[in-house]
Amino acid sequence: MKKFINFDFVRIIISILFLGLAYLFKENGTLFLILLVLSYIVIAYETLFTALKNIFKGEVFDENFLMSLATICAFFIGEYAEAVMVMLLYEIGEYLSDLAVNKSKASITSLMDLRSDYINLKIDGQVIKKKTNEAKKGDIFVVSPGEKVALDGKVVKGESYVDTSSLNGESKPLKVGKGSDVISGWVNKDGLIEVQATSDFKDSTANKIIELIENSNERKTSTEKFITKFARIYTPIVVGLAILLVVIPWLLGLDINTWIYRALVFLVTSCPCALVISVPLGFFCGIGRASKEGILIKGSEEIERLTHIKAIVFDKTGTITKGNFEVIKTCTDVSKEEILRLAAYAESFSNHPIALSVKRAYDKVIDKSKIEDFKEEGGYGVFAKIEGNEVLVGNEKLLQKHKIKYEKDGDVGTLVYVVLNGRCIGHIVIGDDIKEEAYSLTKNLSNLGINNVIMLSGDNIDIVSDVSGKVKIKTYFANLLPNDKVEKLNKIKEDNFTAFVGDGINDAPVIKFSDVGIAMGGIGSDAAIEASDVVLMNDDLNKLPLSIKIARMTKKVVRENIIFALSFKFLMLILAAFGFTSIFLAVFADVGVTLISILNSLLIMKRRI
């Protein structure tokens, strides 16, 4: 109720009271006029002031100027009551439009209301409630059943089921326990858990996503820019035509008051409110619908770009495959334990998924004091001195770069070679499963008219060929370094508007260079959120075609609003010029078209896709 009753609502009520009093004292001409003027000042002063302010800024021709000019001229020709009624109807229309827009934006933002204002910090064994922005990385906090996880972190005690739907659209609860990563915005369902924060408030996933949603309207689409330019050209033309509607009949000796009235109707009819309000609202609703489905789209410009995609390039690891690497085999001149030890020690400072799988397989405490001169070579592997021995761990290209002799075999999987003091002592075979939804990926994209699907990978040709064949991706490239991927992408972009889909960690450069960068599994990843245009929040490839469908639906609704508003406007302008409509009908038409366009935009949130 408080949101409904605001200052604009009070102005409308006061203006209506003055108007009612005027008609009660209609017999008293002077009092009647004074009350009408008071009613007009109460309801019109904001529009008049805005029009005047914009004139000094050089922004003359907008809806405020049109309504001010029309109603002042109505006073000039003695149509006092109509002047008040027109401005009153216009302000009621604006009030209802603002109410609808604000309500829709509030409901959309509430879908992503992930931030928790307070956090239960555990300090010296006591649980103390504090503001979330006072917490810092490394703090321990308690999450009770029904509470939101306030910061990104790792569970250090307890277990529970958490609701992750606010971030990824996934309705099935996720079980977490000691060692599990949890994300700010998730809701704890039943058990009590203690979490160690891995971020502060500013860098938390929830805060970053909310900021992106709130700032999404700052990135204007070509459609929105067109509407802005159109309004700047359209309004002066309309004003010029309204002047001609008065001047030409006057020169011909026709009744001047009749044609001034028609010109006023013409001006009121011409207000471009429906376009100015409904077009940005339509894109905002598209962003909200995507968020509801677990898809983060950074802005309306990105929605429009999604509709232009003709080719999609995929990374393999963590995108087509699960990225859950496991050591499945070792081939070595030394013991299995020794090759795993050397590899784990060499990879101890790396957070690459393959390095993590090697460390899991070794499963022993790594004494980092034994490691010297660690160096990571992007796209190749790592170098380290371990107890005085020089150890290289990486792919085939690493061995070729350092001119190390090695033997190839027929193992299918990611091969990690281990070199000790210049001699290759064997390799570790690491496997990765394909995601279930990847098998239907090319079919789902083909149904959308996207048949140019390509895979780029740093893995060897045997693995890439095997995975591509299973998921029916016909075009693929293997053994690529990050800069090689960028070069391949630029060639593909020459003939196609291209999206790149990657895991958002190692693929940040190529995501950035694509026409549309899409990050898989980007929750909690700075690289994903910063480099990409779209983040598919739960690693689900099915969300990719869904994001394109939402973008296309949004663009269709925006186009419908533009065509409907312009068609109706031009029809009403013709009727106004020939005197077939009144000033009241002009206002009703303007308000009606605006509200219909707003409702059509809001349906984006509900329509089946």
Q: Is the pLDDT of residue 528 over 60?
A: no
For residue 72, give the 3-state DSSP assignment: helix
pLDDT, one tens digit per residue, over 281-297 is 888 888 888 887 878 88
Paired residues of 329 in beta bridges: 429
The H or E element spanning position 196 is strand 193-197
Amino acid at 182: V
pLDDT, one tens digit per residue, over 477-520 is 988 877 888 899 999 999 899 999 987 556 778 888 899 999 88
67 close to 90: Cβ distance less than 8 angstroms: yes
Confidence (pLDDT) at 2: 45
Q: DSSP for 338-400?
A: HHHHHHHHHTTT---HHHHHHHHHH-S---GGGEEEEEEETTTEEEEEETTEEEEEE-HHHHH
525 close to 537: Cβ distance less than 8 angstroms: no
For the chain, domains (ranges, CATH) are 7-109+217-283+553-605 (no CATH), 118-203 (2.70.150.10), 326-431 (3.40.1110.10)
pLDDT, one tens digit per residue, over 158-197 is 999 998 776 655 556 888 999 888 888 888 988 899 999 9
Q: Is the pLDDT of residue 19 over 80?
A: yes
Distances (CA, A) of 44 to 6, 11, 86, 100, 347: 16, 9, 10, 21, 71
Set 139, 315, 411, 459: catalytic member: 315
In eight-state DSSP terms, residue 6 is: -
Question: What is the pLDDT averaged over residues 411-422?
Answer: 85
Q: Is the pLDDT of residue 410 over 70?
A: no
* CA atoms within 13 Å, Cβ hemisphere of 530: 10
Distance CA 274, CA 96 (A): 13
Distance CA 531, CA 551 (A): 20
Q: DSSP for 215-284?
A: TGGGS--HHHHHHHHHHHHHHHHHHHHHHHHHHHHHHTT--HHHHHHHHHHHHHHT--HHHHHHHHHHHH
Residue 336 phi/psi, 5-degree rounding, is -60, -40
Question: What is the pLDDT averaged over residues 336-361?
Answer: 88
Task: Name the average pLDDT for the chain.
Answer: 84
Task: Of 112, 108, 171, give the one whose Cα is nearest residue 540.
Answer: 171
Distance CA 173, CA 538 (A): 13
Q: Is the pLDDT of residue 307 over 90?
A: yes
List the structure tokens of 274: 């429906």
* CA atoms within 13 Å, Cβ hemisphere of 516: 31
Paired residues of 390 in beta bridges: 385
Question: What is the pLDDT averaged over residues 266-275?
Answer: 75
Question: What is the pLDDT averaged over residues 412-432?
Answer: 87
Burial of 123-136, coded b for 16+ CB within 10 Å and e otherwise, reads: eeeeeeeeebeebe
Confidence (pLDDT) at 1: 42
Question: What is the pLDDT averaged over residues 214-224?
Answer: 60
Rounded (5°) CA angle 218-306-433: 120
* pTM for the model: 0.71
Helices within 114-168 (DSSP H only): 165-168
Question: What is the pLDDT averaged over residues 293-314?
Answer: 89
Q: Is 315 a catalytic residue?
A: yes
pLDDT, one tens digit per residue, over 70-116 is 788 778 777 788 778 878 877 887 787 677 666 656 655 555 566 78
Distance of CA 260 to the CA centre of its chain: 48
List the structure tokens of 406: 């090695």
Confidence (pLDDT) at 157: 92
Q: Is the pLDDT of residue 3 over 60?
A: no
Q: Is the pLDDT of residue 522 over 90?
A: no
Q: Is the pLDDT of residue 405 over 50?
A: yes
Pick from 398-412, 422-436, 520-534: least confident: 520-534
Residue 501 contacts by C-beta under 8 Å, 6 or more apart in sequence? Answer: 312, 313, 314, 315, 319, 518, 519, 520, 544
Distance CA 81, CA 71 (A): 10
